[in-house]
Each structure stands twice: as structure tokens, then as C-alpha cells.
């Protein structure tokens, strides 16, 4: 049977070609995801090696109560350590060099007069230059010696367009500084687009460590000294000059491993995200494979009957079909691996154009190859299993008949099962929405997800039951306007609802996701507009492309005569305790803070008070967001203690507010914020401006824009521009989702092409008879095109209806996350329907041409 199976693959390779292509596309995504992850991991590991090259580090202790949650996991917030410990450490036997690590944000103005930034969003930062630092290699020129000089990392120098001897502007510590490029440093690794500027150590210390405290001290061991032994010696040496437990000494390997773990957490999220879309594509591809083998089995039923008649067992027939599916999977897997490597090559080139160079060659690992082949094999065999079982179980005598066995099988059982699953899923969705509306939001997101999966599975099972009714409605315009072709096409697509539904299901899944994503994006944009319109009271806003505004710019803009008030919004973090438990109730967690002038509310900003009085901030009280207050059990009057490495603040809760825009648990009056965040001038993220009496908005904008211009990274926005900017970010994310979902749409199109092509083969005699009684080539091609359009419309209409219906519950379930408005993108949905028609026309081209070219006499004699 193995020989028979392989001969059948060779004989029907064209029929199986599109199934192989579907596997290729899905596996390409899988292989590409693993290759991209390995390449990103290699790049960032190189950055870790370059950034943490010392043998030993001194840093603040690991405090589990000061762990802040990030999307990738838990990040430890550490206290700073005294920079003057360097003198003590340098005297320890076995220490070759020791340096305090002075680092912080900086803006570099390039040769073209604009800020040097990466299109990939990589950071721009400065570090202190030490001439005897063994991790630094001067490739050209010399290091900086004072505040008028600087050096650049080699790729940063290329991106800036600056040459040694050029003078440019640096924004350091919020001040504009003129400095000359004196040297280029080679760190011997790709920095993924980051801009690295080297300042002389004295300047870096005065800007980034004005209080004499740094995040880390790097220690390089002398030759032959074991880092673990050096850690012990340093601990002994600093025990007399540092408070017990205030400094932690660890080997460089520990720091590097921690950094790699953080990176792996982030890359793991990216990998999972991409693999979800790969899974969707492969799931969609499974419909093509199942449809191909189902139709092929029907067309070859007599062949299988003859095999059974000459002694082949049902298992042998079953195995022969699965062997063919395995060949499809393996061929698709091999080609998919090549496709994945090609995909990553394109992504690498795209990142390079965006300024994010990825180091190393594109990896081809054993794990990636084995998993990719296994995925292709399993998907293909699993998809072909049901058609293979049907072929094996059909009695030989029944298979010899002209009628296809099993075509009249009832859909009642399938319909009932689908209905039960769909109703159960819909009930879960409704329950999630009802619970969220009643503020019982525990687990509602998960319940909504489970319900959505149930609805989708139920609709897929119900698709053949719905097919005749839905297609009857969709075909009505064609029946009326395109006679008699419309009626012929309608009969062909409704004759076998299982096949039509299976073909359309692939597109249905993709369109359901597209519809849900469109509703989510449109609702997010509408929610953003509502939030800004409700809370924004300023005339203009100033923000920075580097996220933080230079302190000098804030001072200069605030001093303009056209400005009546300039309210600075700064951000920070602190460990919060409410004193209800020994370890600081409320979890003792590190939370985000917003510092803003107490009189901002009612002047340039407004927000809803749930309880208390926002005006109490003028008397030194705090405002806390409703969700955080609910989670921690805070009420008006509770005393909260905010602790940072720079100090402690205790203040009462004066108001509980419900603000989506102020996305931080605690809002602190700016004067109190400064007591625990001494570098608040470097933490201002937004400046809200109100114009002076008698000044119109155009004059205010002109004055502010002129003042902001030298700082090159500042943007001056009104409320509409701010809304547009936020909407643009949502649109960018939506475009990424569309691009990823586009693969499943492409596979779905292949499914329609595949089904139509096989249908032409299956209906060869019927086509010949219609041609014999007068149906022209163009009419035949038109009939097949209408069939294709109807199939595409069926999948699109049902998919969009499901996606939109499920997404309609998102604003209620995720209202606490800022999704407060439901907006249906009718224009985009109509565009999807137009695209479905185009997809149908495109998918019909090859099958229509193939059908039109069938010789009439040969077609009518086909058995």
C-alpha cells in the first residue's frame, strides 16, 4: 500500500498542490517565528554581554516588596548605592578597576538638525566614559574629557551622520549643550538601534547622580582572580562603610543571567503572539486539506472499491490515504522551513531600514526543523483522517455505484451539536457582559474568551445547516440580474452544503477575527476621543518623542507671557503601604505615580470624583484611582506611605477618582512628589498649557512652537491632534493584526481555488453536457465565478457577523481598562464585503479557465 499511496501522490500532485501550499504558508510562519526569536535572542544577548561585561557588580538589595509588574513578568526595583564606594572597592586585593556606572537619557541632534532616533523605538542614553574601562574600545579618535566633548558608539555615529570634529547639540539633564564629537567607540555588538552617547565621567556624574548615588558599580577582576572569591572580599571591605543590607555584591554572571531571563520573558511573549497566528493559519489550512481529501476520495471511490475487491483491508485503504497526507505534510514542512527563513530575511532587512540591526546569521536549528516538520505532518494527517475513515468504511459494492456514497447523510445531528455549543458559548458571553456591567469583573475576560471560542466552534458546525438559507439570500441578486447563470451557480453551491461550508469556513474564521479586531480598534479610538473630550481642559499639550521633556524647555515654555498656566505631569514609582499589615497592607507593591500641581484639576484637567474632594490635594492629600482603591481596600481618609530610594512620604487619601487618562493608581501633588522623586525635572512627561487672557490659541501655539523648536524632540498638540496621534497608534497596531491575519485570508482564498478546481474535475461530465446543449465558454466561466463569489460572501458575512457580535461585548467587559465606547466600523465592514467579492473573482480565475478549456466530446464521455 505504500507504493500505491506514493503513486497516487505522484499521479494527483496537481490536485494536492494547493494543500501543500497551505501547509507551506502555515509552517513558514512557525519556522519564521522560531528563527526570529533565536535571532532576537542572539542580538539581545550580545547587548547584555556588552552592557554587563564586569566580573562583579555592586547594587541595591533585592526587595521582593518592590517588584513592579510588567507585560513580560516581574521586574525588581532596587535602591541606589553610594558612588563613593568605588574608592573602597578599588583598594581590595584582586580588583583591577572599579567604576560607578553613570547613565541616563540624552537627546543627540544629528548632522541633519533632527534628533537621532530609531524608527523601531530603541532608546537613546548616555554613559560615563572611563579611559581605562576594559569593556570600551576606541575605534577612532579619543574619549571626551569635559562637558564640551562626547563620543559615540559606532552605529550611533553612522546614524547621526556626524564625523569626528563636528559640533552639535546635546540635550543633557534637560539643558541644551553644544559639544564636539571626539571619538567613536566599538562595543563589538549590534545594539538593535539604540543610540549610545559617551560623556566624560565628571559630566555624567553631575547630571545623572547629583546625589552621589548610582544603580550599579562595575568591578573588573585582576587576571586569575575568581569572581566568587572577589565578591566575598568586597563584602568584607565595604562592611565597615555601608549599612548592613544596603548593598548587594554579585558576580557578573548573576547580573547577565537575570538580564537574559528578562529578555527571554519579553521574547517569549512575542513568540507566543506570533505562534497564535501561525496556529490560526494552520487551522485554516486544515480545512483545505480535509476538503481536498474528501473530494479526492469521492472521485476515486471506484478505485478504492477495486482495491477492496482484490483483497485490501479497510485499514490498508485508510493507511494509504494517511500516507498521502503525510507526504503532503512533509513536503509542505520542508518548503515551509525555507519559506520561514525567507520571511525572517525580509523582516531582518525591514528592521535594518528602520534602524534596528539584528546581529548574527539567520539560525537553522534542529529544534526548529523538527518542530516545523512535525507541525506540517500532524496538521496534514489529522485533517485527512476523517475523509480517510469514510473511504475505508464504504462497502465495495456501494462504492461501485455512480452515486457518491454518503452525500445524503443527514445534518440533523451535526446541527443539534453545533446549536448546543453555540448557545452555550453565547450564554457565557452574555454572562460575562452582565457580570462586568454589575462590576463583578472577576474572571469576566476569561469567561468572554471561552464563550467566544464556543460560539465560533458552534457556528462552524452549524455552517452546513445555514448554508442553503444564507446562500439563497446572497444569491438572489445574481439569480435576478444574471440569468440563467445565477440560478445555476446557486444550485451548484447549495447542492453540497457540507463542501461549501467547509470551503467557506476557512474564510469565516479569518473574517471573524478581522471583524472583531476592527470593532475593537474603532471602539478604542472612540473611547480615546471620549476620554480626552471629557477630561482635557487645556488649550495645548507639549510632549516629547523621547517620552520626557527637557527641564529647560519646561521652564522656558512656562515663562512665556502667552501662557497663563503650565501644569507638568511627572511619572514615577513608589512602594505603597497603608499600614494595615506588618508588611504594608495593600500588598506593599510598587505602583506607578503621577505627580501634578494640585490646582491642575479644574484648570487644565478635570476628572470624575467617586468620593472625597479632589480639592483636598491643595492641602497635601492624595488622589487614588477607583480600581486601585477597590483592589487594595483604600477609602477616603486612609493614610498611605509612599517609599522610594530617595525618601518616604505619608499622606491621607483625599479623593477617589475615576480617570482613564490618568493611568496610575496614585496621583500626588507635585510639591510632595518632589520630596520622594528628587529628579522630578527629568520625569515630566506632559505639559498642559492654558493661554493668558487676551491671547488666542494661534498666538499661543506660535510662541510655544518657537520655544520648543531648538529641543527638536518636542511636539505641540491641541486636543484633536492628540486624539489623532493616539488613534494613529491604534491604527498601527490594527495594521499589524491585519497583516498577520492576512496569511489566514490568503490560505482561505487557496481553499476556494482548490475546491472549485476539484469541483470542475468532479463535474467534468456535467460541464460537458451543459456545453453540448449550448452553454458558452464565457457563460461557464461566469457560473464558476459566481459560485466563487457566493462562497466567499458566505464565509465573509457569517464571519463578520460572529466577529462583530462577539466584539460588541468588549467595551462592557473591559470598561475598567479604558474601553468605554462601542463603535461599529460600518465603512470597514462594507469594504470587507467588497473584498470578499474581489476574492471570489480572483479565486475563480484558474478553475474557470480550466473548465472553459475542457473539450466537450471528451467531457461528456468521462466516466
Co-location of 709 and 788 in the same domain:
no
Residue ending a domain, choose from 204, 239, 263: 263
Q: Do 183 and 274 reside in the same domain of the chain?
A: no
Is 287's pLDDT higher than 60?
yes
Residue 797 scores a pLDDT above 90: yes
Q: Is 650 inside any structural domain?
A: yes
Whether residue 444 is contained in a domain is answered as no
d(CA 731, CA 719): 18
Instruction: Say which residue, 47 or 564, is predicted with more confidence.
Output: 564
Say whether both 59 and 140 belong to one domain.
Answer: yes
Per the listing, cell 528578562 goes with 262
- Do both 112 and 195 map to the same domain? yes
Q: Residue 158: inside a domain, yes or no?
A: yes
Kindly state whether residues 95 and 36 are assigned to the same domain: no
Is 723 found in the same domain as 712?
Answer: no
Render pLDDT for 457-508 as a digit per residue (tens, 0 to 9): 999 889 899 988 999 899 999 999 888 888 988 988 888 888 888 888 878 8
Give the residue numbers spanning the domain of 663: 540-717
> What's the domain count of the chain?
4
For residue range 128-165, what is the model confidence (pLDDT) as tens digits? 888 888 888 888 888 898 889 999 988 888 888 889 99
Residue 451: inside a domain, yes or no?
Answer: no
**Residue 174, C-beta contacts closer than 8 angstroms, at least 6 positions apart:** 549, 550, 551, 552, 553, 554, 681, 682
Specify if 420 maps to a domain: no
Domain boundary among 212, 240, 263: 263
pLDDT bracket for residue 793 (50, 70, 90): very high
545, 564: one domain: yes
How much of the chain, in percent, has pLDDT values that exceed 70?
89
In a domain, 434, yes or no: no
Instruction: State the pLDDT confidence band at 239, using cuts at 50, 70 and 90.
Output: confident
- Which position has the grid cell 507541525? 375
Least confident of 1-10, 537-546, 661-670, 746-755: 1-10
Same domain, 589 and 523: no
pLDDT exceeds cutoff 70 at 356 = no
More confident: 252 or 302: 252
Question: Is there a single domain that holds both residue 150 and residue 200?
Answer: yes
19 near 328, Cβ under 8 Å?
Answer: yes
> Strand pairing of 684-691 and 622-625?
unpaired
Q: Which residues contact 223 (CB under 8 A, 6 or more apart)?
A: 96
Task: Identify the residue with better confidence: 148 or 529.
Answer: 148
Q: Report yes or no on 282 lying in a domain.
A: yes
Residues 6+ apart with CB under 8 A from 384: 289, 290, 293, 321, 322, 324, 325, 328
Instruction: Establish if 415 belongs to a structural domain.
Output: no
580 and 505 within one domain: no
CA 275/CA 340 separation, integer angstroms: 13
Q: How far is Cα of residue 6 from the mean position of the Cα atoms in its chain?
A: 42
- pLDDT of 437 reads 77
pLDDT (average), residues 338-355: 78
pLDDT above 60 (res 70)? no
| pLDDT for residue 77 is more than 70 | no
CB 652 within 8 A of CB 668: no
600-653 per-position pLDDT tens digit: 888 888 888 888 888 888 888 898 888 888 878 888 888 888 887 677 888 898
pLDDT value at 801 more than 90: yes
> Could you give phi then psi for residue 335, rounded to 5 degrees?
-65, -30
Vertex 587 angle, CA 581 and 588, to 5°: 80
421 has pLDDT over 90: yes
pLDDT over 60 at 63, yes or no: no
Q: Are residues 667 and 691 in the same domain?
A: yes
Amino acid at each position: 500500500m505504500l507504493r500505491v499511496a506514493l503513486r497516487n501522490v505522484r499521479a494527483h500532485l496537481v490536485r494536492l498542490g494547493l494543500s501543500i501550499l497551505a501547509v507551506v504558508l502555515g509552517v513558514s510562519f512557525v519556522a519564521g517565528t522560531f528563527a526570529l526569536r533565536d535571532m532576537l535572542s542572539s542580538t539581545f544577548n550580545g547587548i547584555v554581554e556588552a552592557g554587563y561585561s564586569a566580573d562583579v557588580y555592586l547594587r541595591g538589595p533585592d526587595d521582593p516588596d518592590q517588584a513592579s509588574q510588567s507585560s513580560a513578568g516581574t521586574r525588581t526595583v532596587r535602591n541606589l548605592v553610594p558612588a563613593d564606594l568605588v574608592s573602597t572597592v578599588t583598594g581590595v586585593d584582586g580588583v583591577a578597576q572599579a567604576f560607578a556606572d553613570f547613565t541616563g537619557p540624552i537627546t543627540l541632534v544629528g548632522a541633519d538638525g533632527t534628533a537621532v532616533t530609531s524608527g523601531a523605538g530603541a532608546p537613546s542614553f548616555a554613559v560615563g566614559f572611563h579611559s581605562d574601562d576594559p569593556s570600551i574600545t576606541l575605534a577612532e579618535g579619543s574619549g571626551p574629557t569635559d562637558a564640551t566633548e562626547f563620543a559615540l558608539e559606532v552605529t550611533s555615529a553612522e546614524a547621526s551622520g556626524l564625523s569626528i570634529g563636528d559640533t552639535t547639540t546635546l540635550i543633557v539633564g534637560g539643558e541644551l549643550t553644544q559639544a564636539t564629537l571626539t571619538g567613536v567607540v566599538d562595543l563589538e555588538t549590534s545594539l538593535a538601534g539604540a543610540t549610545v552617547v559617551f560623556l566624560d565621567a565628571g559630566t555624567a556624574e553631575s547630571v545623572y547622580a547629583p546625589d552621589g548615588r548610582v544603580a550599579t558599580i562595575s568591578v573588573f577582576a585582576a587576571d586569575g582572580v575568581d569572581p566568587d572569591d572577589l565578591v566575598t572580599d568586597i563584602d568584607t571591605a565595604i562592611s565597615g562603610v555601608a549599612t548592613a543590607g544596603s548593598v548587594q555584591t554579585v558576580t557578573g554572571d548573576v547580573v547577565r543571567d537575570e538580564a537574559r531571563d528578562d529578555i527571554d520573558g519579553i521574547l517569549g511573549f512575542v513568540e507566543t503572539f506570533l505562534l497564535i497566528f501561525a496556529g490560526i493559519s494552520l487551522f485554516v489550512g486544515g480545512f483545505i486539506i480535509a476538503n481536498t481529501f474528501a473530494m479526492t476520495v469521492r472521485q476515486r471511490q471506484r478505485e478504492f472499491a477495486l482495491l477492496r475487491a482484490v483483497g485490501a483491508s479497510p485499514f490498508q485503504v485508510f493507511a494509504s490515504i494517511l500516507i498521502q497526507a503525510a507526504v503532503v505534510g512533509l513536503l509542505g514542512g520542508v518548503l515551509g522551513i525555507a519559506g520561514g527563513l525567507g520571511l525572517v530575511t525580509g523582516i531582518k532587512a525591514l528592521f535594518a531600514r528602520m534602524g534596528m540591526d539584528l546581529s548574527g546569521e539567520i539560525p537553522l536549528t534542529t529544534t526548529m526543523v523538527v518542530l516545523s516538520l512535525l507541525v506540517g505532518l500532524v496538521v496534514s494527517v489529522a485533517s485527512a483522517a476523517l475523509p480517510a475513515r469514510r473511504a475505508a468504511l464504504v462497502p465495495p459494492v456501494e462504492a461501485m455505484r455512480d452515486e457518491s456514497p454518503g452525500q445524503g447523510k443527514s445534518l440533523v445531528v451535526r446541527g443539534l451539536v453545533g446549536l448546543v455549543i453555540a448557545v452555550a458559548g453565547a450564554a457565557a458571553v452574555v454572562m460575562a457582559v452582565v457580570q462586568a456591567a454589575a462590576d463583578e469583573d472577576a474572571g469576566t475576560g476569561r469567561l468572554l474568551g471561552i464563550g467566544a471560542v464556543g460560539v465560533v466552534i458552534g457556528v462552524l458546525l452549524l455552517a452546513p445547516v445555514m448554508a442553503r438559507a444564507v446562500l439563497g439570500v446572497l444569491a438572489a441578486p445574481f439569480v435576478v440580474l444574471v440569468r440563467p447563470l445565477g440560478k445555476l451557480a446557486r444550485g451548484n453551491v447549495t447542492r453540497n452544503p457540507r463542501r461549501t461550508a467547509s470551503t467557506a469556513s476557512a474564510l469565516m474564521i479569518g473574517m471573524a477575527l478581522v471583524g472583531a479586531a476592527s470593532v475593537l480598534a474603532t471602539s478604542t479610538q472612540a473611547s480615546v476621543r471620549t476620554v480626552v473630550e471629557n477630561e482635557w481642559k487645556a488649550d495645548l499639550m507639549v510632549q516629547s518623542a523621547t517620552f520626557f521633556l527637557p527641564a529647560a524647555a519646561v521652564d522656558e515654555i512656562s515663562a512665556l507671557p502667552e501662557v497663563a498656566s503650565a501644569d507638568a505631569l511627572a511619572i514615577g514609582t513608589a512602594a505603597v503601604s497603608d499600614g494595615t499589615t506588618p508588611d504594608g497592607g495593600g500588598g506593599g507593591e510598587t505602583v506607578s505615580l503621577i505627580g501634578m500641581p494640585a490646582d491642575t484639576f479644574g484648570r487644565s484637567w478635570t476628572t470624575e470624583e467617586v468620593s472625597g474632594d479632589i480639592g483636598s490635594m491643595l492641602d497635601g492629600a492624595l488622589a487614588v484611582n477607583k480600581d486601585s482603591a477597590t483592589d487594595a481596600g483604600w477609602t477616603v481618609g486612609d493614610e498611605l506611605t509612599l517609599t522610594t530610594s530617595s525618601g518616604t512620604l505619608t499622606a491621607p487619601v483625599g479623593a477617589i477618582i475615576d480617570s482613564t487618562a490618568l493611568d496610575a493608581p496614585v496621583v500626588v501633588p507635585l510639591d510632595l512628589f518632589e520630596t520622594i522623586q528628587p529628579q522630578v525635572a527629568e520625569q515630566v512627561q506632559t505639559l498642559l498649557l492654558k493661554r493668558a487672557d487676551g491671547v488666542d490659541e494661534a498666538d499661543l501655539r506660535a510662541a510655544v512652537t518657537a520655544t520648543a523648536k531648538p529641543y527638536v524632540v518636542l511636539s505641540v498638540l491641541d486636543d484633536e491632534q492628540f486624539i489623532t496621534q493616539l488613534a494613529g497608534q491604534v491604527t498601527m497596531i490594527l495594521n499589524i493584526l491585519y497583516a498577520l491575519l492576512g496569511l489566514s485570508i490568503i490560505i482561505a482564498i487557496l481553499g476556494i481555488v482548490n475546491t472549485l478546481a476539484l469541483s470542475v474535475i468532479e463535474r467534468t461530465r456535467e460541464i460537458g453536457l451543459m456545453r453540448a446543449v449550448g452553454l458558452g465558454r464565457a457563460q461557464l466561466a461566469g457560473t464558476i465565478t459566481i459560485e466563487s463569489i457566493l462562497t466567499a460572501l458566505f464565509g465573509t458575512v457569517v464571519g463578520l457577523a460572529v466577529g462583530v457580535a462577539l466584539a460588541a461585548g468588549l467595551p462592557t467587559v473591559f470598561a475598567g481598562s479604558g474601553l468605554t465606547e462601542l463603535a461599529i466600523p460600518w465603512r470597514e465592514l462594507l469594504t470587507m464585503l467588497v473584498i470578499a467579492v474581489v476574492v471570489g473573482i480572483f479565486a475563480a480565475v484558474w478553475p474557470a479557465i480550466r473548465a472553459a478549456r475542457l473539450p466537450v466530446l471528451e467531457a461528456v464521455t468521462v466516466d
